[in-house]
Structure 1
Amino acid sequence: MLTKVTTEGTAHLCDEDRNEICQNFKSIQTDLTLDALSSIFLSLRTHDELQQQLKKLTLCYKTLENDDDKTRYYTGLHTYNVFKLVIDYIHPFIKVHLNTVLPAEDQILLTLVKLRLNLDFKDLAYRFGISKFSTSTYFKNTLRIIYLRFKTLVFWPDRSIILKTVPSCFKESFHENTTIIIDCFEIRTQTPSNMLAAAQSWSNYKHSQTVKYLIGITPQGSVCFISEGWGGRVSDKFLTQNSVLLNQLVPGDVVMADRGFLIREFVELFQVSVKIPAFTRGKSQLHPVDLEKTRAIAHVRIHVERVIGAIRQKYSILHDVVPITLLNTGGEQPILDEIVHVCCALFNLFSPIVPL
């Protein structure tokens, strides 16, 4: 289309040219508007998707609601209903202030996740959307409350109750007399900077620094005793002799232990019998009677090893190397002692591992 030129040298558009340019401008304006709207829409959708992904990565007690598989994975508890019962039992004793970042339910979840998966405090901080310092503080404070509320779950049952629930494998070999099966287990720790502490915690058995515990189970497999922690250097005999286990025994009780427990001389002073596998005492082989007794003891004593293994497997914090910070005293006793006791108490919430 041609244009007309004025005397001033400026071009003037004819009506047809002007209309065509206006239509093109409107078309371009419409296209830009649609592009802008499309971009905004995509941004919003991306934002929503990121929010959903972030919500999936963020942990809170509501994310476990009615999900037994997720509850088992993060807490070790079998069902969400059990987790809810734990929350209901602990919740009233957790103080929540105006500046508290996490609600009480999430403080409990954080603590259980730490026991179960032993995630680093920085990892937990990201998952719960709080600082690393707050994560550590919540864990230690809530652990203390759970310990105080749940420590009674590890208890020494009355003998009459034990006799009523003795599994058949014990009845066949020991005529319902076994009261407790004991063993020791060790938890590896970081090396203390103090040389004396490092020497006292060195375990010749584990070839590393450890904290050692004496554990006792009933014939049915429930944890009925857990000692305070000792440096890995102490013997099984010393630990037993210096624990409060002896205060729990009454005349007529029967204690079953491994041959490393040289405890008969002082345990029998309480009129308590001790059953341990026989020694060869320089002989090439055991007498057939002793061999049969040893096999019978080994057959049932293995249950305490199963319990220890199950607790370690369920709560990774007992399986990994424990940092020095968890060996410090949080209240009346070291934090690690509270951790071990709580893990044993939570284990007792499940069905006994030895069938009747």
Structure 2
Amino acid sequence: MDFDVERTGHDYCSVPEAAAVDMVLHENSELKSQVEDLRKQLAQSKIIHRFGLQRFAGSDDDIRFYTRFATYNHLMAFWKLIEPATHRMIRSNSKVFKEPGNTRALPAVDELFMFLVYLSLGLKQKDLGHRFQVHQTTVSRIITTWVNFLYFVLGSVCIWMPKEQVRAHLPEEFHKFRDTQVILDCTEIRCQTPSSLLLQSEVFSNYKSHCTFKALIGMAPHGAITFVSALYAGSISDRELFKQSGIIDLLTPDMAIMVDKGFLIDRLVPCKIHRPVFLTKGKQMSVDEVTHTQSVARLRVHVERLIRRVKEHKLFDTVIPMSISGSINQLFTVACLLVNYQCGPLVKAWSH
């Protein structure tokens, strides 16, 4: 039997209208745009909430607080200087960073940031681990790696200046002492009292009435650090430290050094010494001696201000635990060398 079929159903082969297609494409485009915006917001949120350099990039006050660098731009300029050498950096476990499969827990610039925060604030490694969201052993490895890296990278740059360069940058305040090559002073940082009585006697400083490490720092007249000795046991005298530091080999007869009256080094150096006049018992200073002493004191205060900049790294405000005594020499040296990059001139007029 034949039946006539009335074709009144939907035609699935028909092509949708062009307007409907355009609407679907437009909706897809809007959804993609929204997804991309959400991804950007998520990435920005991670940066804001993650304790890293980019979180503080917009605040020079925060950069100074966490790193001691004057501004974010100063820090980035320093990073550009050392970044090429980081590809040859060796971790504290002797594995080269670039080895296959050996990845960083943090970007290299954030590892530097962590190290600077450690120096600047003296935070415990456990605290840094919580802030940067890494394990404490990773913090320890990063700090050891970066202090050794910066010790060799910055230490490879000769900071001792030829006398011609020192004269070329001589501030007008030194017009009476134009032959001054370097201003010297000793400084001490407190350390934990060793359990060994022998070691206690070696590191105990009568001046500080505490166990200390002691170093000699030299400053060019215009304010740059040009000499840093190794750290010695706190019981060493200024004279003996000067003798062992190695600076004598850098001095020539046409130079002069400026020191405090406690440096009894006249027979050790081949050059002239600018020093406050000793006041012997029963003797009164002449007018010239008073003027000379006051002039030297006014200029010597700048090396004390420079040392204070070094000790603005709060790590040295605390008693140094014996657990880091093996790396304290590198830590202190790096802190001293960083001052030449972190800060502006000691006196504003010297910047011209």
The amino acid that maps onto 1:353 is L
Q: 1:70 aligned to 2:69? A: no
Cα offsets for 1:212-236 (capped at 9, x unmatched): 0000000011100000010110000
Residues 1:265 and 1:98: Cα distance change in structure 2 (over 3 Å): closer
Find the aligned partners of 1:73 and 1:303 in 2 and give their Cα distance: 23
1:195 to 180, 197, 211: 197
- Summarize the alignment of residues 1-356 of structure 1 with structure 2, pairs less than 5 Å apart: 56=48, 58-88=50-80, 89-90=82-83, 91-94=86-89, 95=97, 97-153=101-157, 155-171=159-175, 173-174=176-177, 176-267=178-269, 270=270, 272-313=271-312, 315-328=313-326, 335-349=327-341, 350-354=343-347, 355-356=349-350
- Matched positions, count: 295
Question: CA offset at residue 71 of structure 1?
Answer: 1.7
CA distance in structure 2 between the partners assigned to 1:286 and 1:210 by the alignment? 35
Encode CA deviations 1:23-69: one digit per residue, 9 max, x unaligned: xxxxxxxxxxxxxxxxxxxxxxxxx99x96x8655312221334322
Q: What is the aligned-residue identity percentage?
A: 29
Change (3 A) 1:206 1:251: same
C-alpha displacement of 1:84: 2.1
Task: Summarize the Cα distance change of 1:57–1:124 in structure 2 as closer, same or farther, 3 Å threshold.
Answer: farther
Q: Distance in 1 between matches of 2:170 and 2:268?
A: 26
Paired with 1:258 and 1:340, the residues of 2 have a C-alpha distance of 22
Q: Structure 2: which amino acid aligns with 1:322?
A: I
TM-score, normalised on structure 2?
0.79
Runs of 4+ with >6 A deviation: none
Q: What is the rounded CA distance, in whole Å, between the counterparts of 1:154 and 1:337 in structure 2?
A: 18
Give yes or no for contact 2:47–2:54 (8 Å, CA) kept in 1: no
Take 2:191 and 2:230, find their aligned partners in 1: how far apart are those partners?
A: 15
Write the distance in 1 (CA, Å) between the matches of 2:137 and 2:307.
32
In 2, the alpha carbon distance for the partners of 1:121 and 1:295 equals: 45
Contact 1:154 1:223 in 2 (8 A): no
Q: Is the 8 A contact 1:188 1:209 kept in 2?
A: yes
Shift in Å at residue 282 of structure 1? 1.2
SS in 2 for 1:264: coil
Deviation, 1:152, is 4.2
State the AA in 2 paired with 1:301. Answer: R
User: What SS does structure 2 have at the residue aligned with 1:348?
Assistant: helix
The farther-off stretch of 317-326 and 111-120 is: 317-326
Q: What's the C-alpha RMSD, in Å, of the aligned pairs?
A: 2.1
Instruction: Identify which range, 315-324 or 283-292, moves more after superposition.
Output: 283-292
Distance 1:59 1:151, change over 3 A: same
Q: For structure 1, which segment, 57-66 or 317-326, has the greater mean C-alpha deviation from structure 2 after superposition? A: 57-66
- Indicate the residue corresponding to 1:24 in structure 2: none
Q: 1:181, 1:205 → 2: CA distance?
A: 21
Partner letter of residue 218 of structure 1? A
Cα distance in 2 for residues equivalent to 1:132 and 1:195: 32
SS in 2 for 1:183: strand
Asked if the contact 2:49–2:55 (Cα under 8 Å) also holds between the matched residues in 1, the reply is no
Shift of 1:277: 0.8
| C-alpha displacement of 1:322 | 1.1
Supply the AA of the counterpart residue of 1:63: R
Is the CA contact 1:57–1:127 (under 8 Å) kept in the aligned structure 2?
Answer: no
| C-alpha distance after superposition, 1:146-166 (max 9, x if no partner) | 111112456111111111111
Q: Which amino acid aligns with 1:288?
A: V
Q: 1:141, CA displacement in angstroms?
A: 0.9
How far did residue 290 of structure 1 move?
Answer: 1.3
Gaps of 5+ in 2: 1-40, 90-96
SS in 2 for 1:263: coil
Following superposition, the deviation at residue 86 of structure 1 comes to 2.9
Contact 2:70–2:344 (CA under 8 A) maintained in structure 1: no
Q: For 1:153 and 1:323, locate their aligned partners in 2 and report how far apart those are by CA, in whole Å.
A: 30
Q: What are the Cα deviations for residues 49-104 of structure 1, in whole angstroms up to 9, with x where unaligned?
A: 9x96x865531222133432222221111122222233332443342553532222
- What is the alpha-carbon distance in structure 2 between the residues aligned to residue 305 and residue 84 of structure 1? 28
